[in-house]
Every structure is written in C-alpha cells, then in structure tokens.
Structure 1
Amino acid sequence: MANQALLVMDVQNSVVSRIASDTEYLPRLAKAIDAARAAGVPVIYVVVGFRPGFPEVSSRNRMFGALTSGGANPATADAFQVHEAVAPRLDEVVVTKRRVSAFAGSDLDVVLRAKGIDTLVLTGIATSGVVLSTLRQAADLDFGLVVPADGCLDADPEVHRVLVEKVFARQAEITNLADWAASLRTS
C-alpha cells in the first residue's frame, strides 16, 4: 500500500457556513478522519491564513484582495478556524496556505516529503477551489491521488459532478469516504 496522507482542506468555520447543502458532510468526514487515525494514516489539515495586515495579499487578487481593505485577521478569527466537528488533534500538522492551492505559499510539500508520503487523499471545500488547485499541483509533483467524491463539497453541485467525473478521474482514483476507510482495514 502507498504511504498516504489524508488532507482535510479549507474545512474552516467561515467556509462550512457558506456551503450548507450537505448536512451529512461533516459527520461523514469525521468518520474518515477517525478511520485514518486508527490505521496510522497521517491526517494533515490545510487552512488559508495571512499575517496581520495581509502583506501576502495583492489588491489585484480577485479572491483575497478584498481582505486588504481592513477587518479581522483570518488567521486568528474564529471564522477561519477548522470546524470543531473535524478539528485537528494537537499532534497533527496544520499547514497554512496563502492562496487557493494547498501548496501555494505553504510548507506542505516539505512536510509530505519529510514523512515519505507519496499518495494524497484529497478532501475539502470547495471542489472547484482548493481540491481542484491542489489536485493539479500534486499531480505535477508526481503524487498519487485519491479523491473521495463525497469528501469534497462545492456550492455548485453540477460543477462538483463535472470535476469529479470528468476532470479528476484523469489524474486520480475516484472513490467515496466509506470505501476508502474500509480499504484501510483490509490493508
């Protein structure tokens, strides 16, 4: 079996509150996290965050540029903490990224290489955001990829479907959380 890690990406309070279409998402993800922990598979959390004053954010950046006009620092605000239903344990790695991809502006690649990880199991919100961007970059970095379709959410269900069925399937094994968790018990 590959040396894999479960990535839980952008499952932060502010993101979860905007995408309430699947009320079973967090319980389903929590079960997969428990299965990973029980099997000794590292669970790595990826969150978006910035330094006070947002020096990493350009006003030209359409997604994050509005942050520079003031307000609370998302790195410390409760809205940007990992949702309590799937919160990391003290001994689990939390990687802070500065853009959409889990690799952009973070030390994720260093952490993965140090742990000898060669396969990533991608979960998170949103399918068309962090999951897509991370999948593309991870594929370019030669990681094996697994995407549990029900481990990802998007505000647009049709975009989610097209990405999982037509785009991700070209670069990743597509499964679901229950089957992935079951595979850990049979390995």
Structure 2
Amino acid sequence: MKDAIYLVLDMENDLIHADGPNGKAAYGEQVRGRRIIENTRTAIDKARAAGVPIGFVRVGFSPDYRECPPNSPIFAGARKAGIFKLGEWGTEVHPDLGRQPGDFDIVKHRVSPFYSTSLEAILRAHGIRRIYCSGISTNAVVQATVREGHDRDYEMVVLEDACCGASTEEHEHAIGGLKRFCRITNSQDVVFE
C-alpha cells in the first residue's frame, strides 16, 4: 500500500466548468489559459498508474446553506448566487477528471479540507505520510491544505501547473508564499511514490 494520496481540490463544476457560473469569469479564463483541467487529468492518470489513491475535495452546503458561515467574505455570495449546493451539478467533480467509484470524496464547508471533514480519518486509516495536491484556488484551498498539512507533519507536494487563482499575479504570489512549506513540482515532472 502506498503512503501517499493525491488531493484534487475544489475542481467542481461551479468553479471550473465552462458552463458554470465562473466559467466565463476570471477563474474560467485562468483554468483554460493554464490548462488546469488537462494538467490535473494528467496527474490523476499518473497517480492511478502508480497506485496512489485520489481524493476529490469539494466545497458544498445543504440546499438551505445551514453550514455556510454567514459572516465569511469568501462564502457570503454563495447563498445569493445559489452555488455550492450539494447534490446538484455545480458541486460535482468536473467530468473530464475521470472520477471513479473507489476515489475518496471529501466534502468541506470551509476553505480548509481538514476542518470538520473525513480527511484526517482517511489519512490515518491508510497510513498516509505524503500529500500531493493541486486545485483552485491557489491562494485559498491550496494554501490552506499545504499549511495545515505541514503543521500536521505530512510531507506536502504541490503540482503548480494544476493550480490557479483568479489572476496570474494571485497565483504566483500564493505559490511564492508556499515554497517554505512544501515541495513544488508540476504534472509533467511529478513522480508519485
């Protein structure tokens, strides 16, 4: 059994699909321009070939948004926009990523995938010591995952070309801030071990 996992962070339709609410906005431009979906799929296929499990982390709330923090600047617009509703198309993993029944599904209600989710139990049950991760956005879920994973003594590896922010500058600034907490690689060079 491998002691690693690849966490694919917030790669859901509401955020990255061309037909989703962000598809024609800044995130959509970055996703297409940086080939985030294609690079993520390359990494997923490599991880599967190496026997490394995949965990899809998704942000979502009940239809009445009971878990949504009312004073959160980042989630305040979700209820108004009607996005991130669990059980709907918007919170499904993008179809081009090839999600499989055996993949882990980690649903979160905050930025960090560690907060009040099944992630820690999954990591412990499978003896995980190294977490590969990528997703959207670099300055939110990716940073939160790396910093918290680091502080929980996991070896953290970020696939930079499978991450983006709302702008190139936002992404680059976030990556610059992460270099002290993780190893940075990309979907072409990564070796899942």
Question: Please, what TM-score do these two structures have when normalized by structure 2?
Answer: 0.86
CA RMSD of aligned residues (A): 1.8
Count of residue pairs brought into register by the alignment: 181
Q: Which amino acid aligns with 1:171?
A: F
Displacement after TM superposition at 1:51 (Å): 2.1
Structure 1 unaligned spans of 5+: none
User: Secondary structure of 1:178's match?
Assistant: coil
* Structure 2 residue aligned with 1:9: 9
Displacement after TM superposition at 1:20 (Å): 2.5
Is the Cα–Cα contact under 8 Å of residues 19 and 154 in structure 1 kept in the other structure? no
1 CA distance for matches of 2:112 and 2:142? 8
Is the Cα–Cα contact under 8 Å of residues 88 and 94 in structure 1 kept in the other structure? no
Could you give the per-residue CA deviations for residues 8-60 of structure 1, whole angstroms, max 9, x where no partner exists? 01001111124222422211211110110111001110001122322212321
Is the Cα–Cα contact under 8 Å of residues 129 and 154 in structure 2 kept in the other structure? yes
**Corresponding residue to 1:170 among 147, 169, 180:** 180
**Corresponding residue to 2:148 among 137, 156, 162:** 137
Is the Cα–Cα contact under 8 Å of residues 8 and 123 in structure 1 kept in the other structure? yes
**Pair 84,107 (structure 1): closer, same or farther in 2 beyond 3 Å:** same
User: Secondary structure of 2:131's match?
Assistant: strand
State, as a whole percentage, how many aligned pairs show the same letter: 31
1 CA distance for matches of 2:120 and 2:169? 31
Please say if 1:110 is aligned against 2:139.
no
Structure 2 unaligned spans of 5+: 17-22
1 CA distance for matches of 2:13 and 2:37? 11
Could you give the per-residue CA deviations for residues 100-148 of structure 1, whole angstroms, max 9, x where no partner exists? 1111221111111111111111110000111011111111111100011
Could you give the per-residue CA deviations for residues 77-101 of structure 1, whole angstroms, max 9, x where no partner exists? 2122110011420111110001011
**Which structure shows the bigger proportion of residues in helix conformation?**
1
User: Secondary structure of 1:133's match?
Assistant: helix
Question: Please, what TM-score do these two structures have when normalized by structure 1?
Answer: 0.89
Q: Which amino acid aligns with 2:179?
A: A
Is the Cα–Cα contact under 8 Å of residues 14 and 91 in structure 2 kept in the other structure? yes
Displacement after TM superposition at 1:72 (Å): 6.6
2 CA distance for matches of 1:94 and 1:128? 22
* Superposition map of 1:38-187 within 5 A: 38-68=49-79, 71=82, 74-164=85-175, 166-180=176-190, 183-184=191-192
1 CA distance for matches of 2:120 and 2:84? 25
2 CA distance for matches of 1:19 and 1:73? 16
Is the Cα–Cα contact under 8 Å of residues 101 and 134 in structure 1 kept in the other structure? yes
